[in-house]
Structure 1
Amino acid sequence: MSRYITDVNILDPYEHQPVQVPTGWHKLDTDLNSGASGDFLYLVYERCDQDRPITDIRILVGDEKPSEGYEKIPVDLNKGAVDKDSKPHPLFMAVTRTAVAGHGPIEDLLITSWGEHDPKVEPPSGYSRIDTDLNKGVGGAYIYLDRRPAATS
């Protein structure tokens, strides 16, 4: 098995149906809309033997376009969730496999979350945080994606 993450996607199971994780993929167990009353959404990732690992992940807000070399995952991370005025706040994930200064191949991903009245949870040692709350604008738990890059030589 490859040590680098080579693909990511968002699963959107119908209603309360069990999440069907594709063979060879790994699911992070935190609902990306936890506490926000949106659709149940789960991040999945794949590791496979190829020479194109993901090197960076960004969160796009609203109709923001991905930077050159980034591929947008076309699932709204706030799907079905709205703010107190019933307005949506769409967020999307974008990934790249090209070399990015300061970013090596990603070895691991995890979701860190905490409630509104709980203390902020820092990323574990060796991980860096993608600094956008995945429930941005729609309330619910604070949910962040943390990544562990490959060690550089």
Structure 2
Amino acid sequence: MGQRITDVNILVGYDKNPVPVPTGWKKIDTDLNSGVGGDYLYLVYERHDQDEPITDIRILVGDEKPPKGYEKIPVDLNKGAVDADSGKPHPLFMAVTRKGDGKPIEDLRIASWVDGEKKVDPPSGYSRIDTDLNAGVSKEEDGGTTTTHIYLDRKPAVS
């Protein structure tokens, strides 16, 4: 049995300087607020072969409570970003579980594209969490509003 993802977190940066990654953690090098302003946010995860692995990840909207058995990561995935038209924030949070019937998660990837570009499909063997991590936020540029779509893809472990 190989190493599975056992913990996830969000690193918050306030400028373009690299965000230090804790020892033993892996950073996905895509700003979760890419293209919409706000703080610089990066998903990091840790892998072990003996700790209890994460089996599911959900995205919570606003003050939605996590389902039973899920732990909420207390960092707004849209921290500092707002909708360009309304000026209002749209908070999103990640919740994870190590319980249930799901297979352990072996890998995570971020897919992103800008309005008007071709949608990026998940890589082979990955499934997409069906919530845009930039949902409800946008940025005004060159007289128009644009949105960069950010999705989290996960790869379940093969038995």
Q: For residue 5 of structure 1, what is the aligned residue in structure 2?
A: 5
Shift of 1:151: 1.2
Partner Cα separation in structure 1 for residue 18 and residue 42 of structure 2 = 11
Matches within 5 A, 1:106-117: 106-117=105-116
Matches within 5 A, 1:126-137: 126-137=125-136
Partner Cα separation in structure 2 for residue 13 and residue 49 of structure 1 = 30
Backbone CA RMSD of aligned residues: 1.3
Q: For residue 119 of structure 1, what is the aligned residue in structure 2?
A: 118
Shift of 1:142: 0.5
How many corresponding residue pairs? 150
Q: Give the secondary structure class of the aligned counterpart of 1:36.
A: coil
Matches within 5 A, 1:4-153: 4-83=4-83, 84-100=85-101, 103-139=102-138, 140-152=147-159
Structure 2, unmatched stretches of 5+, are 139-146
Query: What TM-score do the two structures reach when normalised by structure 1?
Result: 0.94
Partner Cα separation in structure 1 for residue 51 and residue 36 of structure 2 = 38
Shift of 1:14: 3.0
For residues 30-53 of structure 1, the C-alpha deviation after alignment (integer angstroms, 9 at most, x for no partner) is 100011111100000000232310
Partner Cα separation in structure 1 for residue 127 and residue 22 of structure 2 = 27
C-alpha contact 1:60 1:93 (8 A) present in aligned 2: yes
Shift of 1:18: 1.9
Shift of 1:99: 2.1
Partner Cα separation in structure 1 for residue 48 and residue 72 of structure 2 = 20
| 114-123 or 65-74, larger mean C-alpha shift | 114-123
Partner Cα separation in structure 2 for residue 86 and residue 69 of structure 1 = 34
Q: For residue 142 of structure 2, what is the aligned residue in structure 1?
A: none
Q: Which has the higher strand share?
A: 2
Shift of 1:2: 4.9
Structure 1, unmatched stretches of 5+, are none
Partner Cα separation in structure 1 for residue 35 and residue 106 of structure 2 = 28
